[in-house]
Amino acid sequence: MKLICYGSSSRGNGYILQGERQTLLIEAGLPLCNVRQYVKDFSTIQGCIISHRHGDHAKYMGDFMRAGITCYANDDVWDNYDGRSLKRGDIEQPTATTQIGEFKVVPMFAHHDVPCWAYLIQHPEMGTLLFVTDSAGFNCSFNTINHIMIECNWSEVCLQLAIDEGRTNWYVAKRSRDTHMGLEVLLAYLHSEECFNASKEVVLLHLSHENSDPQQFQKVVSESLNKPTYVAEYGLQIDLSI
């Protein structure tokens, strides 16, 4: 299984899980042309799972559906979608498993300012992957997790420096702390659960342009967890093995 990132920021988010026969898309926050760069045969795409309704995660879902891609999302996304649901997927409520081709997907509640789902994704070619974005915290426990994709939007040091230098105002700072996961919370969570001990790598998602330091975050997380750590950015590709 190959993980491909074609965007991971407030400008737009999009990820591809590309298996030998089938593909799953995560988020629809960037134009479909980005997917076409990496997936030549759209018939392999089993669907697209979306975390929540904000534009940097769901803006282009209508284009995805018009291209024949089934989108899966929570009710709040559909309630705020004003287009025709050409390919709306019937995903179950949190903790229930939905089969999307060869992928088993379990949605879970994330802590954001609108209804937001994290996802547990299972596939024979990669094992189990945890995907968490736009969440101030997360407290679910699991069995073994093989791969971790998780938000690391800001840190207290970077956020305070941005405030002092006038690059971030008090409102943005408060919203970041209340609705997005910072470095300190991320490390505390990953250290608190034994299920992460066997994970092969960590991919840091959705870093803030003003309130993060990608190189420092990568170094700190890698050294703290003693695992290969990557920052999701355009063009990142990682092989996900069991």
Residue 127 belongs to a domain with what CATH number? 3.60.15.10
Contacts with 193 (C-beta within 8 Å, 6 or more apart), sequence order: 141, 142
Q: Which residues pair with 104 in a beta bridge?
A: 99, 122
Task: Count other C-beta atoms under 10 Å from residue 104's C-beta.
Answer: 15
Distances (CA, A) of 77 to 62, 80, 221: 12, 5, 32
What 3-state DSSP class applies to 27? Answer: coil
**Across residues 146-151, what is the average pLDDT?**
98
Q: How confident is the model at residue 68 (pLDDT cuts 50, 70, 90)?
A: very high
Q: Give the pLDDT score at 146.
A: 97
Per-residue tokens: 242: 């069991």
Q: Which carries the bigger pLDDT value, residue 141 or residue 60?
A: 60
Whether 82 shows a pLDDT value over 80: the answer reads no
- Nearest CA to 92 out of 66, 67, 112, 119 is that of 119
Question: Quick one: angle between helices 156-164 and 170-179, nearest 10?
Answer: 170
Q: How confident is the model at residue 84 (pLDDT cuts 50, 70, 90)?
A: low
Range of the domain at 76: 2-239
Mean pLDDT, rounded, of the chain: 94
pLDDT tier at 193 (50, 70, 90 boundaries)? confident
Residue 93, pLDDT > 80, answer no
97 — alpha (psi -120 to 50), left (phi > 0) or beta?
beta
Q: What is the mean pLDDT of residues 171-183?
A: 94
Structure tokens at 14: 């999009």
Q: Which pLDDT belongs to residue 94?
A: 78
Q: What angle do CA 52, 53, 58 make, to 5 degrees?
A: 95
pLDDT at 81 (0 to 100): 87
What domain count does the chain have? 1
Written as six digits, the tokens of 161 are 């420096």
The least confident of 17-21, 91-95, 177-181 is 91-95
| For range 96-110, the mean pLDDT | 95
Q: Is the pLDDT of residue 186 over 90?
A: yes
pTM confidence score? 0.95
220: left (phi over 0), alpha (psi -120 to 50) or beta: alpha
Residue keyed to tokens 């904000």: 54
Residue 62, φ and ψ in degrees, nearest 5: -60, -45
Query: Which of 136-171 are b and which e, b meaning 16 or more Cβ less than 10 Å from the residue's Cβ?
Result: bebebeeeebbbbbbbbbbbeebbeebbeeeebeee
- Interatomic CA distance for residues 6 and 151, integer angstroms: 16
Distance CA 28, CA 53 (A): 10
Eight-class DSSP state of 28: -
Query: Are 59 and 27 in contact, with CB atoms under 8 Å apart?
Result: no
What is the rounded average pLDDT of the residues 195-224? 95
Q: Residue 92: its pLDDT value, please?
A: 66
- 8 Å CB contact between 53 and 112: no
In the prediction, which pLDDT does 85 show?
Answer: 66
pLDDT digits (tens, 9 = 90+) for 5-63: 999 999 999 999 999 999 999 999 999 999 999 999 999 999 999 999 999 999 999 99
pLDDT at 88: 79
pLDDT for res 83: 72
Cα separation, 34 vs 57, in Å, equals 14
Q: Average pLDDT for residues 96-119, to the nearest whole number?
A: 95
Average pLDDT over residues 75-104: 83
d(CA 38, CA 19): 12
| pLDDT, position 87 | 72
